[in-house]
Every structure is written in structure tokens, then in C-alpha cells.
Amino acid sequence: MSIQLQMLGTGSAFARRYFNNNALLYDDEFTLLIDCGVTAPMALHQLNVSFDDIDAVLITHIHADHVGGLEELAFTMKFKYKRKMILYIADTLIDTLWEHTLRGGLYQDGEIMTLEDIFIIRPLSPGQAQFISNQITLEMIPTEHIPGKKSYSLYVNEHIFYSADMTFSSSLLAELVHNRACNVILHDCQLTGPGEVHTTLQELLTLPEDIQRIIYLMHYGDNKDEFVGATGLMTFLEQHLIYDYP
């Protein structure tokens, strides 16, 4: 059983050379969009992928570079493709996504009045692994990002950790690697400055070598090329490339 990951973008919220840090996760019969930021529609267009080619979308947290493309996705699915897309989302984020992000743009009296009018909602309970296809299981793991704002990283198929935007947690990474068989870590990385709401490269460089070797860096800034060769044993993910994971 193998799956594939294709990053639509690997950029931070303020990157201009790279699209927002969103991804497509594939198996043989199912395609999941992980986050749908402002630049996701353009990134999909460049890859010749339409919203109708996607089976479901999953949201890790509510920031524009992760949800800013959902309005376009929803309208396109409803009025062009005449179907609702499945939305995987932590049960704690459902009301916030509608009331504080999507309602203002999507609401149409008598037509679109709730999130359920535009998506098939599949709530995920954090800490519980769930099959979303025959070959993909997902567990949402609460991770710290903005104080007071819920954010959830992903544990895929019991061996791939996909970080949402998160502050550094060496204890979580060690737990996953040493006790939960994690052998791939796809981690957001702020290349410079203090890590107030993101994990920094300097923090990741403090990790032991066995963990660094399995880390692939994403959600980086436009100055990424300046750091090639300066990331220890860690490797940069590249947008639009397809990565295979047995």
C-alpha cells in the first residue's frame, strides 16, 4: 500500500516565490486536498487539476493561507460541478470556519445558509485515527500555533507526520519517532527570526540526528535558496514534485 504527496505550494503566508503551503494526498482512487489557501486555485490550475478532480478537502486551522481558497472551491463545486465536496475538519473548528471565515462571502438567503449547504461535513475528533479512503488513515493531533487559536497537525497512515503551522515541540517529535513508528516528518520551518508562532530552523537543528534525517522542510520564505546546505540532515520539500510513501 502506497500513497503520494504533491505540495501545491511550500511557501509561508507571506512568500511570493512559492504558493501557500497546501498539498494533494493521493492513493489509487482518492485525492485529498490538505488545506485550501488563497493561492490554491492558481496552483491547481498550473498543475491542470480542477476542483472536480478532488474527492475531499481537509482543513488544519483557520488562517487565509490555509482556508482563503475555500469560498472559490465551494462556489465552483456548487454552481459549475453541481455537487458538494467532502470537508474533513476538527469538530472544534466547524462553527468558527463558518461564522468567522466563510459566512460573509458564501451566505445566500434560501440557498447557502449553513456550512452543510455547501459541504458534506465529516468531523474528525482529535486523537482518533480514521480511515478516509481504503489506503489513507488520518489522525488530527492538536499542536500549538497562535495562542487561543486551535490548530491540528496530521498523522498519516501511522508513520507520516504532517505539521500544521506550529511552534517547536521536540517532545512530540520524539514521541512520534521513538514510540509511534514515525519515519517521515514534513515540518513547517521559519528560516529566520524568533519562533513566536512557527518552528524555526535553528530549533529544528537542535534535534538529534536520527530525527533530523527524516525531516523534510516546508512553509518556508522566499529566501529558501540561501539556506540550501545549511539545514543539517534535513531536506527541503519542493512544490509540485510528487513524493511516494510506501
- Whether 152 sits among the annotated catalytic residues: the reply is no
The three cell numbers locating residue 179 = 514510540
Name the residue type at position 186.
L
CA distances from 102 to 27, 36, 146, 214, 239 (A): 29, 13, 20, 36, 27
Strands 3-7 vs 23-26: parallel, antiparallel or unpaired: antiparallel
Catalytic choice (18, 26, 29, 71): 71
135: Cβ contacts below 8 Å, ≥ 6 apart: 1, 2, 3, 27, 28, 30, 157
Q: Are 21 and 33 in contact (CB under 8 A)?
A: no
- Whether 107 sits among the annotated catalytic residues: the reply is yes
Catalytic choice (107, 144, 203, 245): 107
Give the dihedral sign, CA 186/62/130/120.
negative
Residues labelled catalytic:
71, 107
